[in-house]
Structure 1
């Protein structure tokens, strides 16, 4: 049976409704509807505008359906069938995807106005969102894997919008290779999980992981984690995410704010299973931590706003994978939502942000902080975060909610607290007000973590990899402090070319990958073949 008889059928079906609403807009007969609406079929400009209006209306319905799904999940609680599930995490993620997709489609209708292929892009955006909306609705790894792979295939067509640019075609080819490698890892992981545990239902996998995993299942979970790392543009395959900036801005926003986060959501969905696999958790923490360090340093060397934002996404995804590897799915889910909203706003408002940054530099050039100021700011940030954590813990105890903070949770909280350090340097304008704002933000963050723990993501056992995170992010904080205090010093000069090139691992890997699977040569007139990177 498709759904167990004992479960109510109608709530779980709402998990698929947002994807169906977006799909209906993508498959409607556009020309026939345009004629019924009075749009002349031979007027390409009017037909394209009509296609964008249809796309917006379809996503309006998807957004409304996602809101209904959130309400049902809040009132009904989690409901799972053989193939579908509806819970708080999935409903909120669907709402997030539908909201960002609606904003991106409206932005794209203006950004691509007059561009050839804009009508094709409208349908491509809808198909990408349909596949992304189907991922959180799945309670079985097979449809989840198919939807995840379909999202990458649909997005690959969008990223190649400017086919006449050799750099764009090169980046799209690299994304295709990485995505297919991720599909192979995911398929192999599913085979190992299904053969060793006898099921691919996500809720049943979580229940069986409580008793430990056999070696084959642990290897299968590790392969799923590797697929998430590949799709999340982690070292050493991060190059495609930085180079697809040749795509139009709305597609970049959709990639960085939505699609690239799917790997994090899959790991959150499988949190109990991932925590039971030392191979998976170790891989996530080590690779995620290394990527966060390298990407953060590389981001600081870039002048292009979009390229800097791309490196920022690599670093943020690395930190999210570290959270998943340390057994903090609630914190990772909070990070996922915040990063998606922030990155969509950052990409869609990149032009205005450049003007503001230039104006700020002209009016008030930034002063270089000293090492002592940075250390004092970090100490104050940690102290305020500690006060906020204690206050939240006491409030939770009074309300009967026992605190479940582990060493990994405290490590992640300290890393988040250190992010506030630049705001709290001695001599900073309005320091008392900034300290109060940091205290409020830390309290809000820890409160959200306490509320999300075990609700928006299943509880997972803390893993012993937190010393790796402490060492990695401690090194990052130390390098950042030294470089900020002496930007013209010997260390900064030596690190700059390496950080600017992302340690050059992408060039090394690309040369070897293209020998096995070279980029396609386009034979059309006026389009030059793609050249390989220099040896």
Structure 2
């Protein structure tokens, strides 16, 4: 196996250097470290291309992703944080987080991977207190601290149970042990349930999502690092343990049910919000639910594609949030005005979308007989692409044909990406019928509610739904009330002087 440890070592050396370097040199340390990590990642990809040793394709994909995000965020933050009093803390803990993310990505040992996962959370907790004198920041970090420590306890239990059953914490040994079984032992089944629960906690799924939505107290580079990088780690860890997960019906069902419900509810809430960064935060919650659902369904190649695409998009979206006003004006000019008179076309749009996707699949399978896409993925694509065919007020034949072309091109693009990512991490076949039915019902219901609001905005059900959706269905308020009774928020912290890097 191609060794990828140098990537983690670069970030570790950069972090250790930041602890002893003079304050005026810290930004140079951060920029040099991130550039070195990016070059290291590209060299690893190059070596894997020409090396005879088997390559960890999933690891290499995520290594390049982490390197790009680290390089972009550190370069952006240098200018964004000019004049801020906590720049030293930001640099040190950002490098600390990236060093632990590097450990997670390159490690083939379960204990090291989960240790890095926990330490990443510790570093993020410190960054969330960048404006530590603000009470809102203290509340958010306290919520995150409670949830993360609960997840750490679950992970520690999972590690212990794995060692008891397998006798090793090496991922190769664990996966080889799983490959020789048709079903998991009680201990390993419980292990995967604990890991799934920890992933749900760390991806801020409803009703444990409040800290992710309210994290806007932190500066934009921290939000970008969180939403584009740290929150995605659950997906990577689950993909690493895919051979075990594929044998755990309970863990898969847990991921599908919680993930799909969170995706649907968070998507509804997102549509009611005006603030750009808050909309992006709800979008992250929904996207993480969608990714967990994909992993639970065994659509590993789709989950990896989702992880990469979401990271790149969220990094761009947060770092360009300063241009949000101009982008919103442009979007209003280009946004179509939907017709409410041709209601039958809304109902027919999923059928047309399904026809385009189905015909495309037939052509692909004629050219590549071994090409296979899970039918639950086809259902999701059908519902997701249907709004592209919704009728507009000035709808003409040309506009309808444009919608068809968009659906057709997006379908081909997805099939291409499916081929590429399936080479890195193939799925484990079609999921259980019950899970497929559940997912179909959830997304058909979401599509129906979207139609209701679109066609009948003044209907009594639309008017009742809006305040609930706008307030996040009041889930975070209930969670906060219960948890803060059990683990109260510490007294307000006082401000302290911090050295400013000029």
Would you say the 8 A contact 2:252–2:297 is kept in 1?
yes
1:394 aligns with 2:366: yes
Give the aligned partner of residue 146 of structure 1. Answer: 115
Structure 2 unpaired stretches of 5+: 498-502
1:345 aligns with 2:316: yes
Give the aligned partner of residue 6 of structure 2. Answer: 17
C-alpha deviation, 1:444, in angstroms: 2.0
| Residues 353-411 of structure 1 deviation map (CA, whole Å, 9 limit, x = unaligned) | 332213443x46752443434333333322222222222222222xxxx2344xxx211
1:253 aligns with 2:253: no
Identify which of 164, 169, 181 aligns with 1:195: 164
Give the aligned partner of residue 500 of structure 2. Answer: none
Give the aligned partner of residue 60 of structure 2. Answer: 91
Take 1:523 and 1:101, find their aligned partners in 2: how far apart are those partners?
30
Take 1:360 and 1:70, find their aligned partners in 2: how far apart are those partners?
38
* SS state at 1:420 partner: helix
Identify which of 500, 512, 515 aligns with 2:482: 512
Q: 1:199 to 1:313 in 2, by over 3 A?
A: same
Q: 1:201 to 1:460 in 2, by over 3 A?
A: farther
Would you say the 8 A contact 1:159–1:247 is kept in 2?
yes
C-alpha deviation, 1:525, in angstroms: 6.4
Identify which of 84, 88, 96 aligns with 1:119: 88
RMSD over aligned Cα atoms:
2.1
1:27 aligns with 2:16: yes
Give the aligned partner of residue 56 of structure 1. Answer: 31
C-alpha deviation, 1:471, in angstroms: 1.2
Identify which of 328, 337, 340 aligns with 1:367: 337
Aligned length: 487
Q: How does 1:23-422 map to 2 (within 5 A)?
A: 23-28=12-17, 47=24, 50-76=25-51, 79=54, 87-210=56-179, 211=181, 212-361=183-332, 363=333, 366-370=336-340, 371-397=343-369, 402-405=370-373, 409-422=374-387
Give the aligned partner of residue 471 of structure 1. Answer: 441
Identify which of 457, 463, 486 aligns with 2:456: 486
TM-score (norm. length: structure 1): 0.86
Take 2:349 and 2:383, find their aligned partners in 1: how far apart are those partners?
9
* SS state at 1:136 partner: helix
Between the two structures, name the one with larger relative contact order (CA 8 Å, sep ≥ 6).
2
Identify which of 407, 426, 446 aligns with 1:438: 407
Would you say the 8 A contact 2:133–2:493 is kept in 1?
no
Would you say the 8 A contact 1:323–1:329 is kept in 2?
yes
Give the aligned partner of residue 423 of structure 1. Answer: 388
Would you say the 8 A contact 2:76–2:221 is kept in 1?
yes
Identify which of 496, 508, 529 aligns with 2:466: 496
Take 1:31 and 1:202, find their aligned partners in 2: how far apart are those partners?
35
Would you say the 8 A contact 2:135–2:492 is kept in 1?
no
* SS state at 1:115 partner: coil
Take 2:162 and 2:495, find their aligned partners in 1: how far apart are those partners?
49
Would you say the 8 A contact 1:253–1:343 is kept in 2?
yes
C-alpha deviation, 1:500, in angstroms: 1.5
| Residues 436-485 of structure 1 deviation map (CA, whole Å, 9 limit, x = unaligned) | 233122112122213322x3225424431221111111111111111111
C-alpha deviation, 1:75, in angstroms: 3.7
| Residues 284-321 of structure 1 deviation map (CA, whole Å, 9 limit, x = unaligned) | 00100110111011111111111111111111111111
TM-score (norm. length: structure 2): 0.92
* SS state at 1:28 partner: helix
C-alpha deviation, 1:178, in angstroms: 0.7
Q: 1:513 to 1:435 in 2, by over 3 A?
A: same
